[in-house]
Amino acid sequence: MVEKTEVKHIEENMKVKENIVNGPHGRPESVVLSVEEDLHVDDDIIRKKNELEAQNTMHASSFSYAHS
């Protein structure tokens, strides 16, 4: 039997910048907003053989041959 484990690493970053542009009289005329998103997803699949079950299968088959 093979045991399968899936591991996900998720990293999300968000950077927000605000820039206020003043008009000719020093009053805010417009606001510029920049949003930058960064998403990283890593998938790892780990497979392991269940050694205990494999050993039990080997012992059972050798036991059946010995008693045949």
User: Tens place of pLDDT for every residue, the chain, 68 residues?
Assistant: 677 888 888 999 999 999 998 888 888 888 899 999 999 999 888 877 766 565 566 655 555 555 55
Residue 21 belongs to domain spanning: 2-66
| Closest to 9 in 3D by CA, of 46, 47, 37, 43 | 43
pLDDT at 48: 78
Tally the domains of the chain.
Answer: 1
What is the rounded distance in angstroms from the CA atom of residue 6 to the CA atom of residue 1? 16
The answer to whether the predicted template modeling score (pTM) of the entire model surpasses 0.85 is: no
For residue 26, give every residue at least 6 positions away whose Cβ sits within 8 Å of its Cβ, in sequence order, or none: none
